Each structure stands twice: as structure tokens, then as C-alpha cells.
Amino acid sequence: MAKYATLVTSKGTIRVRLLPDHAPKTVDNFVGLATGAKEWRDPRDGKKKNEPMYDGTVFHRVIPEFMIQGGDPTGSTNGSQFFITEAPTTWLTGKHTIFGEVIEGMEVVNEIARVPRDKRDKPNEDVVIERVEVSES
């Protein structure tokens, strides 16, 4: 059965079809963190939590014509971060795991990628992931 993730952001909604047949461990990790089913340690205070991890986090790095990156409270943890690309990125093949594809809201991805940002590609204003909803339809 198909799985979907709906990212409700401060700029609009992005709907992603998850690819568990292609990347089962990565999808399980993402879904567990998104729903709170997987325990995680908050990098800000070191406390273990069983609550949705992505809710209230921001896209901490955006690069037009490339990608938007988010998924971690501090923008520095490898186990929870993800990025959504705007276009094919063949140079990343074999370096990162593809675990989903945007099926609705690509215009939102494009808008987020183009928000004003600093020299390190951090948005000047927070683009918040308000919540992530996981469903099978």
C-alpha cells in the first residue's frame, strides 16, 4: 500500500509519495520521526522524546534551482534531515537516499527555494514545517 507525507509549511503544502520499496529503512525512519512512533533525542537539550520531530522545525538551507533542506531542530543532525530537490541531481546519485517524490505542491518547493537568504543559504525569515501528516491515501 502506498504511503504519503503531507508537509504543511508556512508557505503552503507539499505532498510526497514515499518510496518504501526503494528505501524501506529510510521511509521507516522518516515516518517514525514524523509521527512520533520512533524515539529521538532532541539535540537542543539531549532529552529523549516520543513526539513528532519535524513539527515546528524550519527549512534551514535553500538554494534556487537545487533544493530545500530541513528536518532537524538545529540543522546539523544526519539522522533526520532531508532535502527536496527542484530538478534532477544526477551528481548526488549514490550519495543520498531517495525516499520520496513530490506529487503536489512543487510550486511551494520552488517558492521556498527562492526566499531571500544569507551567504550560507539560510533563509532570512523562517520557513516553518508546521506539521507532517503521514497517510496511506
Give the DSSP per-residue string, the chain: ---EEEEEETTEEEEEEE-TTT-HHHHHHHHHHHHT-S-EE-TTT--EE-S-SSTTEEEEEEETTTEEEE--SSS--TTT-EEEESS--GGGTTTS---EEEEE-HHHHHHHHTS-B-TTS-BSS--EEEEEEEE--
Across residues 47-57, what is the average pLDDT? 94
The whole-number pLDDT of residue 93 equals 86
Residue 1 has pLDDT above 70, yes or no: no
What's the pTM? Answer: 0.93
Could you please state the CATH topology (level 3) that the domain comprising 4-135 is classified under: Cyclophilin (2.40.100)
The whole-number pLDDT of residue 10 equals 98
* pLDDT cut 70: percent of the chain above it: 96
Task: Kindly report, residue by residue over 13-49, the tens digit of the pLDDT.
Answer: 999 999 999 999 999 999 999 999 999 988 888 899 9
Across residues 57-86, what is the average pLDDT? 89
Residue 76 has pLDDT above 70, yes or no: no
Domain boundaries, the chain: 4-135
25: left (phi over 0), alpha (psi -120 to 50) or beta: alpha
Residue 137 has pLDDT above 90, yes or no: no
Cβ atoms within 10 A of the Cβ of 71, count? 23
The whole-number pLDDT of residue 120 equals 96
